[in-house]
Amino acid sequence: MPEPIEVRKVPLHTVTDASELVRLIDDGVLDADRVVAVIGKTEGNGGVNDYTRILADRAFREALVAKGTRSAEEVKRVPIVWSGGTDGVISPHATIFATLPREQAAPSDEPRLTVGFAMSEELLPEDIGRTAMITKVAAAVTEAMQRAGITDVADVHYVQTKTPLLTIDTIRDAKRRGHDVFTEDTLTSMDVSNGGTALGVAVALGEIEMPRDEDVLRDRTLYSSVASCSSGVELDRAQVVVVGNARGIGGRYRIGHSVMSDALDQDGIWAAIRDAGLELPERPHHTDLDGRLVNVFLKCETSQDGQVRGRRNAMLDDSDVHWHRQIKACVGGVTAAVTGDPAVFVSVSAAHQGPDGGGPVAAIVDLGA
């Protein structure tokens, strides 16, 4: 049986700032050696060359080494997933997950938050966006579920992944070995990597049957309702964090999920918060949350038809500002209006993650002792 989870959201005062993590450890809220995952937003461009992710990652890992007893090599294995780009009002922050000794958590037979982690087999450049990637990711999701103590896929509400995208060097490596790649556009490869990974999540959770290579980025009816996939240059395999609920572990937190049907779907966000266990009025306001919402985690995507609710927009035709940044700022604003807090996890490139033009939403709430 996994141990109960403590989860806290902290701001990043600079891109290399881990002071709020250190404060939680010094105050006894978290034990550095018990931190099992971190999911956060950094302020870079969100693209292939967004090195703010590496800077933030280094700061958090150095803090965990300095404040705990684990070696740098051991801390290196802790999943820390950074999504780059805080366009619009989105504020840089991190959500930190740590286990608690059983005696420190109120026992409960009700569903309570649990977290599991796994790493896939190495993802070669030629795997990205193809069934080889889907298969490797699906196996890692299954392993992470087992570590979280989740036996029913219905209890999985959020799967956060980080996978490699394609770079000039990895494309050359594939060619030297006689292979081709899905795309030679490195920025497009972010969508490819995220989409292929999401399909792997969907396969593992029984949301879809095994797709074909030609379905990736093309058949948008194939998607996961709980996958949140990011990619970058920091690793060469899929890093998978499964967040769900389990009975008997205790604790005060619970997670739920829903989907946004489009970029303006506030009801989809409220539905995820309700699914996590908060009772809300029919037409809720952010003041109804009363400090009980830890964080929300969303993926967003520009609709392939270039419209929102029947109205045309120019995001896909804009050569000055990539649509990644525009839709992220839009959905970030919608989300912050719901929660009353701009420190929300909104990530772009949601191919096969929720319906076309929409995206999955997960919410973690504090139900109290």
pLDDT at residue 105, rounded to an integer? 86
Which residue reads 């005696």 in tokens? 103
CA–CA separation, 364 vs 369, rounded Å? 15
In this structure, the strands spanning 359-366 and 307-308 are unpaired
Q: Identify the three-state secondary structure at position 272.
A: helix
pLDDT at residue 277, rounded to an integer? 97
pLDDT at residue 279, rounded to an integer? 96
Closest CA to 128 of 360, 358, 351: 351
Which residues 6+ apart lie within 8 Å of 13 measured at CB? Answer: 19, 20
User: Side-chain half-sphere of 247: how many Cα atoms within 13 Å?
Assistant: 5
For residue 342, give the amino acid letter.
Answer: P
Query: Between helices 323-339 and 266-275, what is the axis angle to 10°?
Result: 60
Edge-to-edge strand ranges of the sheet holding 227-232: 112-122, 237-246, 156-164, 227-232
Answer whether 82's CB lies under 8 Å from 56's CB. yes
pLDDT at residue 10, rounded to an integer? 98
CA–CA separation, 275 vs 187, rounded Å? 35
* DSSP per-residue string spanning 108-143: -SS-EEEEEEEEEEE--GGGTTSHHHHHHHHHHHHH
CA angle 251, 255, 261 (to 5 degrees): 170
CA angle 3, 5, 11 (to 5 degrees): 155
SS3 of the chain: helix, strand, coil, percent, to 5? 35, 25, 40
pLDDT at residue 234, rounded to an integer? 76
CA–CA separation, 266 vs 271, rounded Å? 9
Which residues are identified as catalytic? 162, 230
Number of C-beta neighbours around residue 66 at 10 A: 12
pLDDT at residue 165, rounded to an integer? 94
For residue 17, give the amino acid letter.
Answer: D
pLDDT at residue 337, rounded to an integer? 98
pLDDT at residue 107, rounded to an integer? 78
Divide the 369 residues of the chain into consecutive groups of 10 and give the mean pLDDT of each group: 94 98 98 97 92 96 98 95 95 98 87 97 98 98 97 97 95 97 95 97 98 97 97 90 96 97 98 98 97 98 96 96 96 98 97 97 94
158 by Cβ neighbours in 10 Å (0-12 / 13-18 / 19+) ranks as buried
Look up the pTM and report it.
0.95
pLDDT at residue 369, rounded to an integer? 74
Give the ranges where 228-322 is alpha helix by DSSP (H): 266-275
CA angle 185, 203, 264 (to 5 degrees): 65
